[in-house]
């Protein structure tokens, strides 16, 4: 506890601390004549002599009454001071929430398994929204291979790592009021240089320039949003994602990889020896649960796993390891893929024994929604159980669809399933 900070100008609590001290003095003076304790003896003796001049034989009774009154006044002033301190703390720290409610919630929720989740895009951020209801000990490891949109422009113009997926994860883990989340996700629509940029991306870029370090910028942004957990880039190196297709064509750039009617054979990083950070390795070592996905297989999940040091650390970990398969195929990336095809792609790039369980959704949604997705070339993932068993993974099936206008995972149901599995295994 940094005691001097409590007396920093402008906090508005010093006067109430001093009033509490004065109140204790009053109570001490009241206890002396009431119970005969030798406290503030000089002041009380002087007061007794003064009262004797006016009240004579009633002096002892008057002293006891005075003692009771001093104690009552002291207690009232302490109560009043504590209420004023509470008001000041609410004003400075949590304008829309009681400080003691906040402390209770943090005490209540500061628990749960150590969970490390790998991914990017909307899949990972959607998962995190559910997981934060079960644990504060969350680490999101995010790909930094993105080169499209606002992130790509900032990457090219400022030479920083792409902030888009990291921003989405920060917002997903945020404990701040909705307005702050809305601000970070706001995308400028007006014409000009800001068009297409999100405020959160610009904020992280500005913090990177101010602090001189991308990871420090993420930490600072985490404090602003009061996130539950932490968000880490898979690597601090400037990497690009490349793909080789079955017709041997090669493409460089994450945004250029998904192509209709072209089957991806493998993806790779440039430079190939890009390494992860010590903080990511430590998080994996300390994890109780490691989650891979959901998210775009080739452009969100594998870019994390291809970073040197990550797969090795995952395989050495004793944590529960789970792969969450997507609900739908992704046009230009996983056309016609079954659940086992997703697993095989991970085995081809990372080797066997990367995870123990695969979680798959076993519901296909309404015919109307499926028709909407089919028009865009996306279809529900088929669960080929025999192949999955041959690949050595345990299959967990459940209805995990969110009941809205999209065919995607319900973050709360998914998080609940993972949490129950972790309790059962551990």
Q: What is the pLDDT of residues 231-267, one digit of tens each?
A: 999 999 999 999 999 999 999 999 999 998 899 999 9
Q: In Å, how far are 146, 252, 265, 329, 330 from 242, measured between CA atoms?
A: 11, 4, 11, 20, 18
Question: What is the side-by-side strand order in the sheet with 264-270?
Answer: 250-252, 240-245, 264-270
Q: What is the Cα–Cα distance from 401 to 407, expressed in whole angstroms?
A: 7
Task: Give 251-310 pLDDT, tens digit per residue.
Answer: 999 999 999 889 999 999 999 999 999 999 999 999 999 999 999 999 999 999 999 999
Report, as an integer, the average pLDDT of 49-68.
65
Which residues touch 245 (CB under 8 Å, ≥6 apart)? 251, 259, 262, 263, 264, 265
Phi-psi region of 295 (alpha: psi -120 to 50; beta: other; left: phi over 0): left
Please provide the average confidence, as pLDDT, over all residues in the chain: 84
Range ranked top by mean pLDDT from 26-30, 97-101, 106-110, 321-325: 321-325
Report, as an integer, the average pLDDT of 129-143.
94
CA triple 127-129-135, angle to 5 deg: 95
Report, as an integer, the average pLDDT of 193-220.
90
Better-predicted residue by pLDDT, 147 or 99? 147
CATH number, domain 113-143+234-425, options 3.50.30.60, 3.30.43.10, 2.60.40.150, 3.40.50.10680:
3.40.50.10680
Q: Model's pTM, two decimal places?
A: 0.75
Task: Give 388-415 pLDDT, tens digit per residue.
Answer: 999 999 999 999 998 888 899 999 999 9
Better-predicted residue by pLDDT, 28 or 138? 138
User: What are the boundaries of each domain within the chain?
Assistant: 3-107, 113-143+234-425
Judged on CB neighbours under 10 Å (0-12, 13-18, 19+), 381 is buried
Q: In Å, how far are 274, 287, 324, 336, 394 from 297, measured between CA atoms?
A: 20, 23, 11, 13, 19
């Amino acid at each position: 506890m940094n005691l001097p900070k409590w007396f920093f100008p402008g906090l508005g609590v010093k006067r109430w601390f001093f009033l509490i001290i004065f109140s204790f003095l009053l109570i001490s003076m009241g206890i002396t004549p009431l119970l005969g304790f030798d406290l503030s003896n000089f002041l009380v003796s002087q007061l007794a002599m003064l009262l004797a001049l006016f009240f004579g034989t009633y002096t002892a009774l008057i002293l006891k009454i005075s003692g009771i009154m001093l104690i009552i006044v002291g207690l009232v002033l302490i109560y009043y001071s504590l209420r004023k301190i509470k008001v000041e703390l609410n004003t400075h720290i949590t304008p829309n929430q009681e400080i003691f409610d906040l402390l209770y919630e943090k005490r209540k929720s500061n628990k749960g398994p150590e969970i490390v989740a790998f991914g990017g895009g909307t899949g990972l951020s959607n998962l995190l929204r559910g997981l934060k209801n079960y644990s504060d000990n969350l680490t999101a490891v995010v790909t930094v291979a993105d080169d499209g949109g606002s992130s790509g422009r900032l990457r090219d113009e400022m030479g920083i790592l792409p902030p888009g997926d990291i921003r989405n994860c920060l917002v997903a883990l945020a404990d701040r009021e909705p307005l702050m989340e809305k601000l970070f996700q706001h995308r400028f629509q007006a014409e000009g240089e800001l068009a297409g940029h999100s405020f959160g991306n610009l904020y992280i870029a500005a913090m990177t320039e101010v602090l001189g370090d991308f990871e420090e910028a993420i930490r600072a942004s985490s404090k602003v949003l009061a996130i539950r957990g932490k968000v880490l880039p898979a690597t601090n190196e400037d990497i690009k994602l490349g793909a080789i297709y079955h017709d041997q064509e090669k493409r460089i750039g994450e945004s250029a990889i998904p192509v209709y009617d072209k089957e991806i054979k493998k993806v790779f990083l440039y430079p190939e020896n890009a390494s992860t950070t010590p903080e990511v390795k430590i998080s994996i070592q300390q994890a109780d649960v490691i989650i891979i996905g959901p998210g775009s297989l080739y452009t969100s999940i594998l870019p994390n796993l291809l970073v040197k040091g990550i797969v090795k650390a995952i395989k050495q970990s004793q944590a529960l390891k789970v792969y969450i398969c997507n609900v739908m195929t992704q046009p230009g990336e996983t056309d016609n893929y079954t659940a086992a095809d997703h697993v095989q792609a991970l085995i081809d790039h990372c080797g066997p024994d990367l995870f123990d369980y695969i979680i798959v959704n076993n519901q296909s949604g309404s015919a109307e929604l499926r028709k909407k997705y089919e028009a865009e070339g996306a279809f529900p993932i088929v669960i080929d159980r025999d192949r999955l068993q041959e690949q050595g993974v345990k299959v967990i099936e459940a209805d995990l669809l969110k009941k809205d206008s999209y065919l995607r995972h319900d973050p709360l149901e998914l998080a609940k399933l993972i949490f129950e599995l972790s309790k059962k295994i551990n």
